[in-house]
Amino acid sequence: MITRNDVPAFFVYGEPSRALDVGFLHVETVMERKSLHFGRVAPHKHPLMGQVTYWFKGGGRYRIEDRTWNFSAPAISFVPSNVVHGFDVGDEADAIVVSISDDLLRVMAGQVDLALDAPMLLSGEAGTPGWTRIGTLLGMVMEEYLGGAAASERVLAGLVGVVLSLMARLGGNVGFEAASPAVALGLELRRAIDRHYREDWPVGRYVERLATTPHLLDKAARTVFGQTVKDMVLERRLLEARRLLRFTIRPVEDIGREIGFEDPAYFSRFFRRRTGLSPTEWRRQNSEAAGTG
């Protein structure tokens, strides 16, 4: 019997999971990878990014966790990181897939109307105003992305943010229930960590907040995210540190305090342990890579 822990984790479909650049965003069509899946994408998950998938032609069967839908274009889904999903579609089907790193989604969360911590799937009627706007916007996303070096991260993020808000207007996250109590608890844990990671809560505080037991919370964290609760908190802190180091000019000491490290030396040791570089070295390297150094 295949368990959830046996579900493969990919970067994009068919490629091994790997670390993502801060602010990562990737756009392609489903059928660009047809030679890998031939229209049958087995259940899988993406540990570090969510995906918007807009089906603009054809149809098939879509799975998110333990729920399955038959759909036909136009249809659109949002799947957060670590949520199991897959689909079977006909030869005529195709979709635009926008993959968005968790750090970028968290920045966008306060600016869009869709809840970005739960999966959803919507289908509608071609030619209606809302669906026409979504199709136009995602066509613009693809065109901008294919501009290569000329593509603007801000323009891409802005366009995708509008799409996410339109998805909320069309129906949002109505009707989705998590596959199991462990998955539901894991998603609740991620929400709680997003709200409180700066506060240096011990694991027991999350247990109390979520009205569960240490065993069940640890099981949920390992089942959904493949990590302990403590490691999830530390990874969330690291994610925010990397974002602030790349996109702000704030002093390293201030960034450390922002994510809950009062001791600058401890913050530097923590960061080096997890990245192999000091915060200052990491900032310099990534500023140069981004062309801002």
**Which pLDDT value is given to residue 291?**
44
**Which pLDDT value is given to residue 2?**
46
116-161 pLDDT, tens digit each: 888 888 999 989 999 999 999 999 999 999 987 666 888 999 999 9
pLDDT over threshold 50, residue 230: yes
Q: Which long-range contacts (CB under 8 A, 24 or more apart) does 18-21 make?
A: 19/48, 20/48, 20/49, 20/101, 21/101, 21/286, 21/289
pLDDT over threshold 50, residue 292: no
Distance between CA 157 and CA 149 in Å, rounded? 16
Q: Rounded to 10 degrees, what is the CA torsion of 140, 101, 286, 255?
A: 120
| Positive or negative torsion for Cα 77, 70, 88, 84 | positive
Q: Model's pTM, two decimal places?
A: 0.78
**Which pLDDT value is given to residue 38?**
82
Res. 5 pLDDT band, cuts 50 70 90: low
* Per-residue tokens: 115: 């809840």
Give the CA count within 13 Å in the CB-facing half-sphere of 24. Answer: 19
Structural domains in the chain, CATH included, are: 4-170 (2.60.120.280), 181-289 (1.10.10.60)
Q: How many of the other CB atoms lie within 10 Å of CB of 97? A: 21
Distances (CA, A) of 93 to 53, 63, 74, 167, 177: 12, 16, 11, 21, 27
pLDDT over threshold 60, residue 258: yes
Pairing of strands 75-79, 120-123: antiparallel
Distance between CA 111 and CA 84 in Å, rounded? 26
Res. 179 pLDDT band, cuts 50 70 90: low
**Which pLDDT value is given to residue 172?**
60
22-77 pLDDT, tens digit each: 889 999 999 988 887 888 988 888 988 999 999 999 999 998 887 888 999 999 99
